[in-house]
Amino acid sequence: MNSLVVWTRLLCILCGLGSLSVRVQAQLVTKEAPVLARVEHLQTTSDHEAALRLLRDYLPTVSPQDTLQLTEVYHHIALSHWYLSQYYDALRYYEKAFALDRALNHRRNMALRLNNIGLVHWRLGQCDMAIENFTASARMAQAEHDERLLGVNYLNLGLLWKNQRDLPKAYAFNQQAIALLTRTHDDKNLANAFNNRGQTFKIEARYDSAEYYYRAAHRLRERLGDREGMATSLNNLSEIYFHTQRLPEAFDAVHYSLALSEEIHNHLRIKEALANLSEYHEQTGQLDSALYYHKAYEALSDSLHAQTQTSEVAFYQAHLGSELKELKIRDLQAAQASMQTRVWWGVAVLLGGLLAGVWVGRWRWRTVQRERRQAEQQLVQARQQLTAREQELKEYVITLSTQRSLIHSLEEALTQRRPAPEAVPVAEVDELLQRKILTDEDWELYKAKFQSIYPGFFSQLKLSKVAFTEAEVRYMVLFKLNLTSREMADLLGISPQSVRVSKLRLKKKLQRHQYDSVETFLEEALC
């Protein structure tokens, strides 16, 4: 491109067309600029789906030799996938951009890509890999004397350590990040650092300090027009307002956060706002509204989970496909070398005589046909193996997701377990807590054991004026044992969200019979 510009300008000058040479040069230099300029405009306005469509149309037109342009395109594709919560797609394109930067030995760009890759791993819950990438990026940024990028990496490391509840490390990294980002006038990331500091204070229940830093972050983001950041700050402020009993301010802030998140189509921020709205309405006794926002949260979560699984399968398929391509290339090279050897043998045989040449030629032709048939059979087998591996990969991803959810539920259930009522023998209640109610047979055995500990409970339940279903009787038994939602979910083998919805429905049913709550019913009707 540069040589073409030089020769064109020289030709125009020689012909006395100096002004024309400037116009031609400008057209050649800016030929590809409008596409990426439009992409950046779409990303600034949060229209990431339109940006992706434009980039997909533009990518095939970029020459593979134009590595700088190709790197920029990969970066913008990954960025739009990131904002659409398509994290495996984002990871794939960030890794492509990093490979090109490494081939060109652009160390500053490599540091930027490592930071981006670390963010994707953080969103995927892969904290160890995220820390590894952020640390490597920080080392490269320090070597390149890039204080702004070093501050961003310290900010991200502080965020990760905060999420892992290592508050001293989180505070130390965040303090360094604030100093570096203030010195380099990076207001956007400085706002993120203030927000991270506020979250640290919130964990320590220091709500005044948390509110101070949340407001500082919000002011910077409002000045920059950063709508995603504003949505985050408002949602965080709503939690502080709710904890400090400023309910009108809490509801106003979280509704404003939800509206901003929907404007920019940021699914992660929408989920956070819906979760808080459901919790706030439940805590204030507005059960219908709580159920409405909880259902909206569940629907969005299911949609994003399915999307992530599809992206994860595609990511691993892409890696599997690249390995298969390399294997085919090696096979073709080996076949080519083998064919050259066969040609030389053919020439030698032909020199030995026409008859011997004809005979050898026929023999070689038969050999080639046989090898071709064998190669076709091997290709069919390879395709069958690839199909089987893809199916195994899909099943593995689904199983892994289920196991992660189960492990998370078990961990939270173990940390939140409450002590059994004092009036009941601890050993017998402990035996109840160790049991599972997964089948009807499990329920019958569980009910018999419960009856031996609390005689008369089921008969009193039947004599009450409330008609309970068998499923509701199970929940009444678990309420009697004073279990949390997590413990109920673990015992019944269902999700905590399902327990939460069932508890809301049971509470509304009891309210129709003049009982404020399940606990009130147990105290008054089953005393």
Please say if the pLDDT value at position 342 is more than 70: yes
State the distance between the two ends of the chain, measured CA to CA, in whole angstroms: 88
Report the pLDDT averaged over residues 462-480: 89
- Residue 68: the pLDDT is 86
325 or 19: which carries more pLDDT confidence? 325
Res. 292: pLDDT tops 90: yes
* Mean pLDDT of the chain, nearest integer: 81
Mean pLDDT of 395-412: 58
Asked which of 52-56, 66-70, 316-320 is least confident by mean pLDDT, the reply is 316-320
329 — pLDDT class (breaks 50, 70, 90): low
Count of residues making up the chain: 527
Residue 209, token pair as written in the block: 């300090």
Nearest to 74 by CA among 96, 50, 89: 96
Residue with tokens 């279990």: 483
Judged against a pLDDT cut of 50, whether residue 286 lies above it is answered with: yes
Residue 255 CA from chain centroid, whole number: 24
Determine the pLDDT at residue 99. Answer: 93
Residue 108 CA: distances (Å) to CA of 36, 79, 145, 392: 21, 18, 10, 39
Return the minimum-mean-pLDDT range out of 148-152, 164-168, 481-485. 164-168
Q: What is the pLDDT of residues 506-515, one digit of tens each?
A: 999 989 988 8
For residue 225, the SS3 value is coil
Which SS3 state, helix, strand or coil, does residue 479 take? helix
List, in order, residues 6 or more apart from 502 with CB less than 8 Å away: 471, 475
| Three-class DSSP labels, 246-313 | CHHHHHHHHHHHHHHHHHCCCHHHHHHHHHHHHHHHHHCCCHHHHHHHHHHHHHHHHHHHHHHHHHHH
Q: Which residue has the tokens 């402020």?
A: 237
User: What whole-number percentage of the chain has pLDDT above 70?
Assistant: 80
Of the chain, the percentage scoring pLDDT greater than 90 comes to 30
What is the per-residue pLDDT for 28? 38
- Mind listing the pLDDT tens digit for each residue in 207-239? 999 999 999 999 999 999 999 899 999 999 999
Each residue of 5-14: pLDDT tens digit? 344 444 433 3
| Two structure tokens written together for 412 | 């939270």
pLDDT at 410 over 90: no
Q: For residue 241, what pLDDT is reported?
A: 93
Q: Give the residue, 387 or 117, on which the prediction is more confident.
A: 117
Q: Is 257 exposed, middle or buried (0-12, 13-18, 19+ CB in 10 A)?
A: buried
Return the structure tokens found at 255. Answer: 């509704």
* Ranges 75-79, 138-142, 437-441, 476-480: which has the least confidence: 437-441
* 334 or 177, greater pLDDT: 177
| pTM greater than 0.85 (yes/no) | no
Token pair for 216: 């500082």
Q: What does DSSP assign to residue 245?
A: T
d(CA 347, CA 344): 5
pLDDT tens by residue, 165-201: 888 888 899 889 999 999 999 998 999 999 998 888 9
Enumerate residues 6+ apart whose C-beta is below 8 A from 90: 78, 79, 81, 82, 120
What integer is the mean pLDDT of 316-321? Answer: 52
Cα gap 342→360, rounded to integer Å? 11
Task: Specify the higher pLDDT residue, 515 or 395.
Answer: 515
For residues 498 and 320, the model is more confident at 498
SS (H, E, C) 12-80: HHHCCCHHHHHHHHHHHHCCCHHHHHHHHHHHHCCCHHHHHHHHHHHHHHCCCCCHHHHHHHHHHHHHH
Q: Which two tokens stand for residue 57?
A: 């149309």
For residue 462, with 0-12 CB atoms within 10 Å meaning exposed, 13-18 middle and 19 or more buried, which class applies? Answer: exposed
What contacts 24+ positions apart, CB below 8 Å, involve 235-242? Answer: 235/269, 235/272, 235/273, 235/276, 236/195, 236/198, 236/199, 236/202, 236/210, 237/211, 238/276, 238/280, 239/202, 239/276, 240/202, 240/207, 240/210, 240/211, 240/214, 242/276, 242/280, 242/283
Secondary structure (3-state) at 164:
coil
Give pLDDT, residue 1: 41
The rounded distance, in Å, linking the Cα atoms of 79 and 54 is 14
The model's pLDDT over 299-314, given as tens digits with 9 standing for 90+, comes to 888 887 776 666 555 5
Between 202 and 330, residue with greater pLDDT: 202
Instruction: pLDDT band for 385, please (50, 70, 90 cuts).
Output: confident
Q: Residue 98: what pLDDT?
A: 93
The residue that leads in pLDDT, 470 or 394, is 470
Closest CA to 229 of 182, 270, 188: 188
pLDDT for the residue 322 = 54
Q: Which amino acid, one-letter code, is at 455?
A: P
**DSSP string computed for 298-356:** HHHHHHHHHHHHHHHHHHHHHHHHHHHHHHHHHHHHHHHHHHHHHHHHHHHHHHH-HHH
CA 141 to chain centre: 26
Angle, alpha carbons 277-278-282 (nearest 5°): 115
Name the amino acid, one letter, at 340: Q
Per DSSP, 205 falls in state T
Angle, vertex CA 508, rays to CA 505 and CA 514, nearest 5: 150
